[in-house]
């Protein structure tokens, strides 16, 4: 790896600057900056908060400064970003190279700039390497001394060998001092895996770095080695039948040697981690109980499913039986199953426990105050943090024998009940919190804290941190609880916990919780100003001198006043944003008091706020949130968009809401039936199931009283990518709920995705030729169809391999602004399913007449002679003929 360095005079300091065309900015090491004459100059706030290094690691930026420096006898001016962790004294990036027209001649080792008016000599530095001398193998869980040959090393000189960062093998190289004799030496290599690692001759294991011999001295072994922190490799014994784990320690704030030591420690404790149901633990410390009082048993019939869905349900039920999570049941209780499609096109088995949850008595579990939590961490002088997450946590807790029968769920062919705590139950979080508090009793508040399945550990230094991890791992093993390795964070200098970032510098609010206000765009018109002030007015009682601060913005709303954004307006805008994102508007959450969720949706975005009544009996903000709608979400109905805002808000503030009852305020009255929803489209059902483990009330309030969220739902956000939110996945699903009063039909509605529809479209005699013509201009042999297709295709479009038809409703006063309706082209095999869903079931209203059924289908789907098909289906419906009375004139 060649490095191109040039000599620089930087405020009386002579340094070497790296020319780095891979860097988009110029940067300087903080230590170098502090040694220079510019150290006392004022730093400006950086627009860049973090940079990403070549290895993918992120580094904080402390600020930026514009200074003059000398290069080749010429004084140049440049903006530098100050980065504490920068490896080089200075980096001149691509911005410098472009602005100064830098030209590098590798043949002459000259660098010219400013149209060749300045020329300097380039210092090319290539590090020496330690390479494997001959082919060798390292047995599993073993340290081996490997012979290496040294390049670019002077004889009888001391060198420091640093692990080669681009080594692709799963082995660890120890840093070591070596004296060069005959250009050879030995490196210690650790193989922490259960497999043999082969090293080929010439493989680079380490880089060679100069070291000052005067800095090398011998340690007094008896005084300097802390034997309690030394781990023996021979004690690293892992189960050969278990999957080999790879711990990502790239973001750990440790030296390479400490990372090696931590990796050894984690592999030693391989049995505390689980990566599958097969490895999952089952504790005997605590059991989950369901208290329904004297309520009668809940019994629901299974939802109708297609043969493909039955097969998927049978497969997943078989897995749960195999790993002792469920068992056959004879319970008088039964809850139905719903299949929910995940982003990776696999299916998630969900149990609809909503009726059971209505009967369950909510259990309150006292949680610590956040300020007490932060005081405890602050007093410990902590500098290093880890966070542990349990694998499928709920499945590791058994059900109480007297409650198992209440979890019974029904499939098309059997009844089962859970032996372990399922997802979707009320009080599940409270039970797991009780379990973890009991398991870690005596360690909490001293070395760790637990919130449901999230454990944070803190220590003053690395050695004590290993000891604390060891104590907690032992407790988890004793309780037979397993961790999820890819969700655990180890040995970091800062960590996110309960919506706050904790580090040795102190506690600060996670910026994502205030970002929706901090990045609020400058208003462009009176409407934008009015929207922003609606948010500010909601919390004006907390802002001293609010009327005076906001007066420049209020003047913009005066009738017949031209819109002109002045310096006074900008100052007021900035002050109000700062007020909204700081105390007393913002407050610490109190987990022993109820929360308030306010949400709203517009046609382009959603916004939500979490708040709480404080000790002063006023509503304080805990966090703000919002985002743009994806193109698909913009096509949702108003009710779907409003419910998307609600579900997104609960997911965003999950950590605060999962253990507490809360109130949701919305200006969309239809959402007040959210918890009793039974017959509607699949998207709303899926979202309702996501909320079933929460305990909340939905209250409607007028839009004029919901202006705090209205502003967040109307501001501009960065464009949202499709499928960026797991809550908005689009699937073509008809769960097919049982019709309770009208019919006991055994018809099945298949579960189909757009991919399934696309495949059937291509096979359809009517739509298949249209698709071929759109794709490659091919016409069918049938002359009549061949003549018609070129004219028909103006009404069709292929989007993501799916055929859509465009329809423009007829009106007496059609204008150019009238919107086209995009309809999915439905192939023949699926048409009866659409009719069943929109007429027999409640997707369209349940047994509506011909015209209303047709109008409902027309908003989404198209096929030729659709009206005639709807007419024939509805007029031949036996239920309609039986129930509806004939009308006489």
* Same domain, yes or no: 191 and 335: no
747 part of a folded domain:
no
Per-residue model confidence (pLDDT) at position 239: 52
Q: Which residue has the tokens 């790296």?
A: 18
Per-residue model confidence (pLDDT) at position 551: 92
- In DSSP terms, 416 is beta-bridged to 328, 409
607 part of a folded domain:
yes
* Same domain, yes or no: 522 and 428: no
* Same domain, yes or no: 424 and 485: yes
Please give the backbone phi and psi of residue 626, each rounded to the nearest 5 degrees, phi first. 170, 165
- Regions in the chain scoring below 70 on pLDDT: 1-3, 53-58, 115-116, 124-127, 210-244, 341-345, 365-371, 670, 673-682, 719-756, 810-819, 841-846, 878-879, 881-889
* Same domain, yes or no: 495 and 591: no
CA distances from 691 to 43, 238, 318, 338, 643 (A): 47, 40, 26, 14, 11
Per-residue model confidence (pLDDT) at position 784: 85
415 part of a folded domain:
yes
CA distance 591 to 661: 10
321 part of a folded domain:
yes
Q: How many domains does the chain have?
A: 5
Q: What is the CATH number of the domain that holds 560?
A: 3.30.420.10
Q: What is the CATH number of the domain that holds 869?
A: 1.10.340.70
* Same domain, yes or no: 339 and 442: yes
* Same domain, yes or no: 158 and 105: no
Per-residue model confidence (pLDDT) at position 503: 82
**Residue closest to 455 by CA, chosen among 445, 651, 464:** 445
- Mark which of 720, 736, 763 sits at the end of a domain: 720
263 part of a folded domain:
no
279 part of a folded domain:
no
255 part of a folded domain:
no
680 part of a folded domain:
yes
Per-residue model confidence (pLDDT) at position 238: 46
Q: What is the CATH number of the domain that holds 178?
A: 2.70.40.10
Domain of 73 in residue numbering reads as 3-125
> Are 128 and 207 in contact, with CB atoms under 8 Å apart?
yes
Tell the burial category of 368 from Cβ atoms under 10 Å away from its Cβ (0-12, 13-18, 19+).
middle
- In DSSP terms, 186 is beta-bridged to 147
* Same domain, yes or no: 441 and 352: yes
Q: What is the CATH number of the domain that holds 377?
A: 3.30.70.270
Any long-range contacts for 558-565 (C-beta under 8 Å, 24+ apart)? 563/525, 563/526, 565/522, 565/523
* Same domain, yes or no: 769 and 700: no
* Same domain, yes or no: 505 and 373: yes
* Whole-structure pTM value: 0.53
Q: How far is CA 197 from the centre of its chain?
A: 35
Q: pLDDT digit string (tens) for 479-520?
A: 999 999 988 999 998 888 777 788 877 777 777 888 889 999
* Same domain, yes or no: 577 and 630: yes
In the structure encoding, which two tokens stand for residue 833, read together? 């399913």
CA distances from 442 to 173, 286, 422, 437, 448 (A): 38, 17, 29, 9, 10
Per-residue model confidence (pLDDT) at position 679: 47
Q: Characterize the bridge pairing of strands 861-862 and 821-825.
A: parallel
* Same domain, yes or no: 93 and 135: no
Q: What is the CATH number of the domain that holds 63?
A: 2.40.70.10
Alpha-carbon torsion (452, 456, 457, 458), positive or negative: negative
* Same domain, yes or no: 88 and 132: no
């Amino acid at each position: 790896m060649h490095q191109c360095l040039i000599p620089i005079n930087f405020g009386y300091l002579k340094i070497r600057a790296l020319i780095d065309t891979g860097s988009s900015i110029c940067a300087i090491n903080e230590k170098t900056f502090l040694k220079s004459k510019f150290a006392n100059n004022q730093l400006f706030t950086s627009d860049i908060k973090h940079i990403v290094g070549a290895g993918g690691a992120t580094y904080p930026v402390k600020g930026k400064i514009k200074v003059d420096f000398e290069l080749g006898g010429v004084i140049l001016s440049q903006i530098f970003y100050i980065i504490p962790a920068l490896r080089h004294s200075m980096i001149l990036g691509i911005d410098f190279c472009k602005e100064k027209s830098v030209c590098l001649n590798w043949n002459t080792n000259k660098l010219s700039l400013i149209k060749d008016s300045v020329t300097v000599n380039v210092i090319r530095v290539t590090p020496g390497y330690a390479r494997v001398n001959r082919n060798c193998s390292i047995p599993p869980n073993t340290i081996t001394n490997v012979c290496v040959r040294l390049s670019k090393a002077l004889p009888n000189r001391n060198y420091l060998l640093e692990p080669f960062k681009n080594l692709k093998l799963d082995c660890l190289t120890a840093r070591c001092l070596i004296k060069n004799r005959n250009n050879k030496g030995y490196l210690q290599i650790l193989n922490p895996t259960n497999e043999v690692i082969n090293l080929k001759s010439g493989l680079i294991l380490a880089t060679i770095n100069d070291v000052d011999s005067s800095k090398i001295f011998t340690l007094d072994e008896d005084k300097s080695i802390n034997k309690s922190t030394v781990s023996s490799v021979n004690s690293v014994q892992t189960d050969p039948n278990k999957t080999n784990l790879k711990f990502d320690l790239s973001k750990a704030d440790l030296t390479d040697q400490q990372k090696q030591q931590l990796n050894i420690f984690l592999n030693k404790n391989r049995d505390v981690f689980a990566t599958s149901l097969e490895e999952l633990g089952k504790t005997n410390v605590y059991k989950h109980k369901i208290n329904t009082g004297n309520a009668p048993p809940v019994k629901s019939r299974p939802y109708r499913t297609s043969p493909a869905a039955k097969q998927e349900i049978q497969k997943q039920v078989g897995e749960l039986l195999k790993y002792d999570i469920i068992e056959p049941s004879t319970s008088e209780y039964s809850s139905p199953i719903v299949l929910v499609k995940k982003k990776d096109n696999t299916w998630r088995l969900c149990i609809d426990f909503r009726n059971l949850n209505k009967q369950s008595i909510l259990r309150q579990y006292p949680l610590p105050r956040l300020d007490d939590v932060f005081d405890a961490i602050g007093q410990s002088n902590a500098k290093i943090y880890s966070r542990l997450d349990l694998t499928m946590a709920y499945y590791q807790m058994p059900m109480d024998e007297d409650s198992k029968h209440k979890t019974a769920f029904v499939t098309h062919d059997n009844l089962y009940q859970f032996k372990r705590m399922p997802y979707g139950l009320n009080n599940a979080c409270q039970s797991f919190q009780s379990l973890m508090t009991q398991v870690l009793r005596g360690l909490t508040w001293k070395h760790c804290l637990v919130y449901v399945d999230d454990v944070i550990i803190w220590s003053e230094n690395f050695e004590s941190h290993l000891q604390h991890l060891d104590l907690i791992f032992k407790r988890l093993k004793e309780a037979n609880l397993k961790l999820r390795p890819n969700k655990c964070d180890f040995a970091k200098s800062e960590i996110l916990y309960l919506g706050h970032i904790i580090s040795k510098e102190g506690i600060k609010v996670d910026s994502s919780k205030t970002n929706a206000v901090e990045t609020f765009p400058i208003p462009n018109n009176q409407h934008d100003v009015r929207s922003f002030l609606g948010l500010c007015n909601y919390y004006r009682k907390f802002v001293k001198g609010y009327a005076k601060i906001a007066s420049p913005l209020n003047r913009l709303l005066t009738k017949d006043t031209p819109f002109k954004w002045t310096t006074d307006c900008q100052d007021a805008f900035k002050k109000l944003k700062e007020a909204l994102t700081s105390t007393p508007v913002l407050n610490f959450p109190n987990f022993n008091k109820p929360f308030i969720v306010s949400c709203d949706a517009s046609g382009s975005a959603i916004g939500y706020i979490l708040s709480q009544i404080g000790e002063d009996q006023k509503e304080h903000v805990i966090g703000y949130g919002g985002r743009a709608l994806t193109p698909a979400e913009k096509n949702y109905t108003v009710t779907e968009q409003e419910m998307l805002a609600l579900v997104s808000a609960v997911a965003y503030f999950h950590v605060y809401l999962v253990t507490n009852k809360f109130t949701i305020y919305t200006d969309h009255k239809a959402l007040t039936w959210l918890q009793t929803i039974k017959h509607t489209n699949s998207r709303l059902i899926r979202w309702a199931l996501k909320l079933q483990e929460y305990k909340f009330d939905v209250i409607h309030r007028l839009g004029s009283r919901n202006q705090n969220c209205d502003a967040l739902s109307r501001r501009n956000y960065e464009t949202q990518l499709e499928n960026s939110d797991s809550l908005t996945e689009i699937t073509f699903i008809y769960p097919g709920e049982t019709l309770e009063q009208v019919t006991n039909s055994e018809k099945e509605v298949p579960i189909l995705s757009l991919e399934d529809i696309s495949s059937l479209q291509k096979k359809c005699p009517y739509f298949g030729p249209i698709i071929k013509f759109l794709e490659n201009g091919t016409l069918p042999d049938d002359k009549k169809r061949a003549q018609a297709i070129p004219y028909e295709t103006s009404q069709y479009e292929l989007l993501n391999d799916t055929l859509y038809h465009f329809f423009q409703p007829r009106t007496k006063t059609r204008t150019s602004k009238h919107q086209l309706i995009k309809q999915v082209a439905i192939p023949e095999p699926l048409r009866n399913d659409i009719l069943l869903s929109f007429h027999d079931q409640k997707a369209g209203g349940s047994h509506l007449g011909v015209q209303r059924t047709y109008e409902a289908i027309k908003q989404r789907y198209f096929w030729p002679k659709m009206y005639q098909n709807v007419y024939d289906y509805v007029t031949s419906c036996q239920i309609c003929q039986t129930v509806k009375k004939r009308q006489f004139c």
